[in-house]
A and B are shown apart, each in its own frame.
Chain A
Amino acid sequence: MAKRSVVPFGPQHPVLPEPIHLDLVMEDETVIEAVPSIGYVHRGLESLVKKKDFNEMVYVTERICGICSFMHGMGYCSAVEKIMNVEVPRRADYLRTIWSEMSRLHSHLLWLGLLADAFGFEALFMQSWRLREKILDMFEISTGGRVIFSVNKIGGVLKDMPEDMLKSFVSILNDMEKELSETTTVFLNEYTVRSRLEGVGIITKEDAIRRGAVGPMMRASGIEVDMRKTGYAAYSDIDFEVITSDKCDSLARCQVRIGEIFQSIGIIRQAVEKIPEGEISVPVKGNPDGEYFMRLEQPRGEAFYYVRANGTKFLDRMRVRTPTFANIPAMLQTLQGAQFADVPLLILTIDPCISCTER
């Protein structure tokens, strides 16, 4: 038997944009076991409910994670709105849908870039991030911020997008589609890229269910789960297919996310066509009392928001279960038996977001 050794990986590591620490038990070049230790980004954000009132918490929840900041704010607001029985105007629902899909677009492009960086394809990394900047420009035009937007409020949204702005966004996205397909074909067809991704990090359908994976990880193992199909915000009016793949490997995860990039563009197009005129928010009076579970689909998978209120300004409890947390067991399984050189890549294929996992 080969000699076993333990290699520490992280928290500060060139390919990891965020700190996570793994102890890799190695036998020669093969990983036998990976033991994670976390807490480097833990802030104790949920405890802020005791110090900040439920309106201020909107801004705190947006800062759970800067990548899906819009969706975090939206999840929290929707949960409180449900507790208070507030009916959000339809136009606000549509605007939330459009911003959510823009978040998905920028998150998936960011991931594609980081993936390319993990296997050492620098030019592809730069290309993906160059395309991502166009989405951020759209965010900046519509909300004023690039990564933290603060446009959500309890009862609707704070900013409206006028007709011509929406039209111009659609035409920007139409132009982007060609460039996007050029870049994404490199991921799917280029020989060198395929050799790094194909057959690496397999999670079978049964394993994915047993480990409780979510989002693109689950969909790449051939299981159709997508919280958008539950029809929150304006998704009930929008027609789309859940993208899945049966190949279960890293390439499949890449394929699913690339499919979702184009799908998001389609959803934005539909939403712009159907968006009704009207108010963007309703006034909210009083304090929330009760509890609610909100589930929504973030770029990384399904997120839960649990809010319990007691009739005062300060909530009793706010709890978030984020998609990366659910995906970590599956990631640890892919690491078992992997080659050492594939470790950064395998960590990246779940699209880890440590800051929302640890909050």
Chain B
Amino acid sequence: MKTMHKSPWLLHYDGSSCNGCDIEVLACTTPVYDVERFGVVNTGNPMHADIFLVTGGINSQNEDVVKQIYSQMPDPKVVLAVGTCACTGGIFKECYNIKGGVDTVIPVDIYVPGCAARPESIIDGVVKAVALFQKKHEEEEKKKNGRYR
């Protein structure tokens, strides 16, 4: 478990984004930007994931999906909201089907603004998420050790 916190896995879910932020997140995993150099691997399985990256706002249909993915992820976990839509609802805030940002259904740790969020800022967010994940992980370890002593 000691080494795990050095390479958290990332799960990307597209809420109700316009694809703009979505393809920028994908672009981050390809050669020009390549977030994998920070030890982050993009996975498709919530049960393997430590960082939950959401683009786009929450609507009535995907609300349960987001909650379910969040609950399936093992603790500790970090949630990253990418794009203005995911932070607040953005340009679609006034639409009848949009409830607001991701924080209306699950707790969000890091907000990456921008419409579309630029790859540089997404990478910045991911690097912060990695640091936060390490911190959360250490706290968890401490708690456990305390309990056993």
- Chain A contacts to B: CB under 8 angstroms: 11-15, 17-19, 39-45, 47-48, 51-52, 59-60, 63-67, 69, 110, 113, 125-126, 129-130, 132-133, 136, 145-148, 353, 355-356
- The contact of B95 among A15, A43, A69, A126, by CB within 8 Å, is A43
**Once the chains are docked, how many angstroms separate the CA of A8 from the CA of B115?**
33
Contacts of B20 in A (CB 8 A): 63, 66, 69, 147-148
A67 vs B96: C-alpha distance when bound (angstroms): 24
Interface string of B14-42 (1 = CB under 8 A from A): 11111111111011001110000000000
Give the residue of A41, A110, A126 whose beta carbon is less than 8 angstroms from that of B14: A41
Stretch from B57-65, B105-113, B125-133, B138-146 at the A interface: B57-65
The 7 closest A-B pairs by CB, nearest first: A14-B44, A66-B20, A129-B30, A66-B19, A44-B97, A44-B95, A63-B18
Q: Knowing A42-B16, A66-B19 are in contact, say whether A146-B118 is a contact too (CB < 8 A).
A: yes
A17 touches B65 (CB 8 A): no
Residue in A13, A59, A125, A147 whose beta carbon sits within 8 Å of that of B23 in the complex: A147
Known: A130-B32, A146-B116. A17 touches B26 (CB 8 A): yes
Tell me the complex Cα distance, A136–B119, Å: 12
- B62 adjacent to A11 (CB under 8 Å): yes
Find B96's partner among A39, A44, A60, A145 (CB 8 Å cutoff): A44
* C-alpha gap A59/B90 in the complex (Å): 12
Minimum CB–CB distance for B76 against chain A, Å: 21
Q: Which of B19, B56, B96 has the most CB of A within 10 A?
A: B19
| Nearest CB in chain A to that of B69: its residue | A12
**B116 near A43: Cβ-Cβ < 8 Å:** no
B27 touches A60 (CB 8 A): no
| A43 B27 Cβ-Cβ under 8 A | no
A–B pairs, 30, beta carbons within 8 Å: A11-B65, A12-B13, A12-B69, A14-B45, A18-B19, A39-B61, A40-B16, A40-B62, A41-B14, A42-B16, A42-B59, A43-B16, A43-B59, A44-B98, A45-B95, A66-B20, A66-B22, A67-B19, A69-B18, A125-B30, A129-B26, A133-B27, A133-B31, A136-B27, A145-B116, A146-B116, A147-B24, A147-B116, A355-B19, A356-B19
> Are A129 and B27 CB-contacts (below 8 A) given A13-B44, A40-B61?
yes
Of all chain B residues, the one with the shortest Cβ separation from A128 is: B30
Q: Which residues of B contact A113 (CB under 8 A)?
A: 30
Given the known interface contacts A43-B59, A355-B18, the answer about A67 and B94 at a Cβ–Cβ threshold of 8 Å is: no
A63 to B19, CA, bound (A): 8
For B31, list chain A residues within 8 Å (CB): 126, 129-130, 133
Report how far A41 CA is from B63 CA in the complex, Å: 11
B94 near A51: Cβ-Cβ < 8 Å: yes
Cβ 8 A contact of B18, one of A13, A40, A52, A66: A66
Chain B residues contacting A64 (CB-CB under 8 Å) are 18
CB proximity of A151 to chain B, nearest CB, Å: 15
B91 within 8 A of A: yes
Task: Say whether B46 faces chain A, with CB atoms less than 8 Å apart.
Answer: yes
State how many angstroms separate the Cβ of A135 from the closest Cβ of chain B: 12
Contacting pair A133 B32 (CB below 8 A): yes
Closest-CB distance, A56 to chain B (whole angstroms): 9
Q: Is there contact, CB below 8 Å, between B65 and A43?
A: no
Chain A: CB-nearest residue to B42: A14
**Contacts known (A67-B23, A130-B30, A353-B19); A41 close to B56, Cβ less than 8 A:** yes
Other A-B pairs beyond A66-B18, A146-B116, A148-B20, 18, CB < 8 Å: A11-B65, A40-B59, A41-B14, A41-B15, A43-B97, A44-B97, A48-B95, A52-B94, A65-B18, A66-B17, A66-B23, A129-B27, A133-B27, A145-B116, A146-B24, A146-B119, A148-B115, A148-B116
